[in-house]
Chains A and B, each alone.
Chain A
Amino acid sequence: MSERISLLAAERAEEWLLKPGVYFMQGNIAAAEAALIAGCRFFAGYPITPSNEIAEHMARRLPQVGGYFIQFEDEIASINAIIGAAYGGVKSMTATSGPGFSLMQEAIGLAAMIEAPIVIIDVQRAGPSTGIPTLVGQGDIMQAKWGSHGDYEIVAYLPNSVQEMFDLTIEAFNTAWEYRVPVVVLSDQTVGHMIEKLRVPPLEEIRIVERRKPEVPPEEYLPFDSRYLVPPMAVAGEGYRFHVTALTHDDRGYPSTRHEVSEKLVTRLVRKIRENEKVIGRYESIMVDDADLVVVAYGITSRSALKAVREARREGLKVGLFRPITAWPFPYWGLREAVDRGASILVVEINMGQMVHVVREYYANITEIHSMPWAPGEVPRPHVILRKIKEVYPR
């Protein structure tokens, strides 16, 4: 083509971003606006309920900030396209729900392997399979971590409000570009569709992480330099002329079948997240300090669980709420003190028991761990959770 433009039409982008202030906004739309503020300039997706508002909003808003929106032929194309865009140096994302998230798994492994920073918003719905597209579920917890083959690490956030759809989407971009890792915002149908208060802070108060660029000349650049946990990232067209492959590769990015190369690479892909788990991992503890029973709940379930916990307190039971804000890394250390004090745990989630396995991994032999499995389709009401609290409350 004759007309070659150097980069995106980035000029005048800021004037189109959401202004600071207080809004009454839907969760999905808050996530889309947050992505724009985080610097997202490419969205690729495929229609799927209950995530559609994100794509629809991005289709309207991205061109205004000089970005691009493509509705692809499927979720597989969508996620591969955002990985390509990320290697063009542009912050990129997709949004989907269970079936689409399943289709994306192979490419999530690709992004982990070639250390492409991408953001995926998964608005979870009732499964398995097509399930109930319009109703809530939390069945993607394990898939988010273990869905692709081989060993790798991802990061997943668990928003429980419209405010967190906004805040954690920005944080998801920051984490993706800080660690060169795929990051999932594991939302759910209810948080995605609910409309509530959103406070947008002034832009200068929002932390935005940008790509760490290589500082060496091209002949010295190693795209997967194992002297770093997270190597600086060159992108296409900068003159580095680097090679990237999804095959097991050495520091130069060249394929290798040598065991030492495999061990070095896979270990680093895992270490870069595990060694930073306490920097990345987040949780919220409410009334946990003196609790005899700690309810573990996340996403929309945590809001019902909090009401149940408060009700239990009114009835004289020492119950607290532990809310993981990251599913992965799982913030196990946040439960340590309560468990050491002898508190029991009750995990409430809209699935047949997923996060409870992780809690057991850390605390099974130390304290009693109960599960309240809840078939996808609705949020368990506070009185149902309260009944379970009373049933398992230590005597």
Chain B
Amino acid sequence: MSGLRLGLRTEPIKSLLRLERFPHIWCPGCGIGTVVKCYIEAVLDSGIPIEKHVVVSGIGCTSRAPGYIKLDGFHVIHGRAIPFAVGLKTVRQDLEVTVIAGDGDILAIGGNHFLHAARRNDDINVIIVNNFIYGMTGGQYGPTTTPGSITTTSPYGFIEGAFNIPYLAAVLGANFVARWTPLHTKELTAAIMEMFKVDGFAVIEVVSPCLIYGEMNNLPPLEIMKAFRDRTVIDHEADLSKIDIDLRDPRKPIVLGNFVRRSRPSYQTLARELIKKARGGG
């Protein structure tokens, strides 16, 4: 894609890390660190001044990301990263505001905000690291847990349904919807850069392993990584209603891609026009 200058970068990734805070809290083999690296690469290559990038998160393993990224970063309360980001972006449209948070934060406690930010088409970027579980609190089931899974709060098996994130985001009206894994770093970085250019609500689901609690889903750590290599299929034109993920079914593919590109004007763009209208200037 245009603007992608991988390899020509002069600023090292380390320049955007708060190295004084290392070692980080993430477990060895966790996918979140890779997502942070891809985000930083995208920021450095975005062409947008670094000080104009802002990263916002809620609570959970993924939400610790802003704490290690040397940008203006806001680690707010559980589930509320999106409304915080919307408020900030609305009054400061010069900023490129990205939410990085987990499946539980964005889709369970923060589900209502996700729904309405997509409907309003707020001009923010949302990276959802989906590891199918509540990791930080100890392996409880979440809104994307595969039905049937054993978790610390579903000891007899998970009997609820799971969100299919790209399908959900597309139906809600998001302008950009993608799904990648931490094994697809080039594609993920490119998708994040594309997000920055979208005027409107942009969502990337990153299907990511939780090695500590993955085993409870009957998938040992190495099997998850192997599944990301062997079972992923890139299909940008996929029927989103059929791309739900079942990590436990070895025959079911994990479909990846940049699925949705729309150009519905963002709320913030329309709100600027409203100011002219309210002042009688058309």
Contact among A5, A12, A241, A255 for B72, CB-based, below 8 A:
A241
With contacts A1-B199, A73-B115, A90-B91 taken as known, whether A12 is within 8 angstroms of B76 at the C-beta atoms is no
Interface size on A, residues (CB 8 A): 54
Binds A, one of B33-41, B144-152, B217-225, B268-276: B268-276
Q: B77 to A84, Cβ gap below 8 A?
A: no
A168 interface residue per 8 A CB criterion: no
| Chain B residues closer than 8 Å to A82, beta-carbon distance | 87
Q: A63 to B275, Cβ gap below 8 A?
A: yes
Identity of the chain B residue whose Cβ is nearest the Cβ of A44 in the assembled complex: B87
Distance of B72 from chain A, by nearest CB (Å): 4
Among B50, B85, B90, B120, chain A packs the most CB atoms within 10 A around the CB of B90
With contacts A77-B112, A244-B74, A254-B21 taken as known, whether A239 is within 8 angstroms of B51 at the C-beta atoms is yes
Distance of B244 from chain A, by nearest CB (Å): 26
A247 interface residue per 8 A CB criterion: yes
B157 interface residue per 8 A CB criterion: no
Contact among B72, B74, B277, B278 for A237, CB-based, below 8 A:
B72
Q: A110 to B77, Cβ gap below 8 A?
A: yes
Q: A80 to B90, Cβ gap below 8 A?
A: no
8 A Cβ contacts from B68-99 to A:
70-77, 80, 82-95
A70 interface residue per 8 A CB criterion: yes
Query: In the complex, what distance in Å separates the CA atom of A128 from the CA atom of B21?
Result: 46
Identity of the chain A residue whose Cβ is nearest the Cβ of B66 in the assembled complex: A243
Q: A236 to B87, Cβ gap below 8 A?
A: no
Cβ contacts A68-91/B at 8 Å (1 or 0 each): 101011101110111111011110
Q: B80 to A76, Cβ gap below 8 A?
A: yes
Interface size on B, residues (CB 8 A): 51
Q: A42 to B92, Cβ gap below 8 A?
A: no
Distance of B223 from chain A, by nearest CB (Å): 33
Query: In the complex, what distance in Å separates the CA atom of A68 from the CA atom of B88?
Result: 11
Given contacts A70-B120, A246-B77, 19 further A-B contacts (CB under 8 A): A42-B90, A63-B271, A63-B277, A68-B91, A77-B80, A77-B116, A81-B84, A82-B87, A83-B76, A85-B87, A87-B74, A88-B92, A89-B91, A237-B51, A237-B54, A243-B73, A244-B76, A245-B75, A247-B75
Shortest 8 CB-CB contacts between residues of A and residues of B: A81-B87, A84-B87, A63-B278, A84-B84, A84-B88, A77-B83, A88-B92, A245-B75
Where the two chains meet, the residues of A that have a C-beta atom closer than 8 Å to any C-beta of B are 1-2, 4-9, 12, 16, 41-42, 44, 60, 63-64, 66, 68, 70, 72-74, 76-78, 80-85, 87-90, 92, 106-107, 110, 114, 236-247, 254-255
Where the two chains meet, the residues of B that have a C-beta atom closer than 8 Å to any C-beta of A are 18, 21, 50-52, 54, 56, 66-67, 70-77, 80, 82-95, 112-113, 115-116, 120, 123, 197-199, 266-267, 269, 271-272, 274-275, 277-279
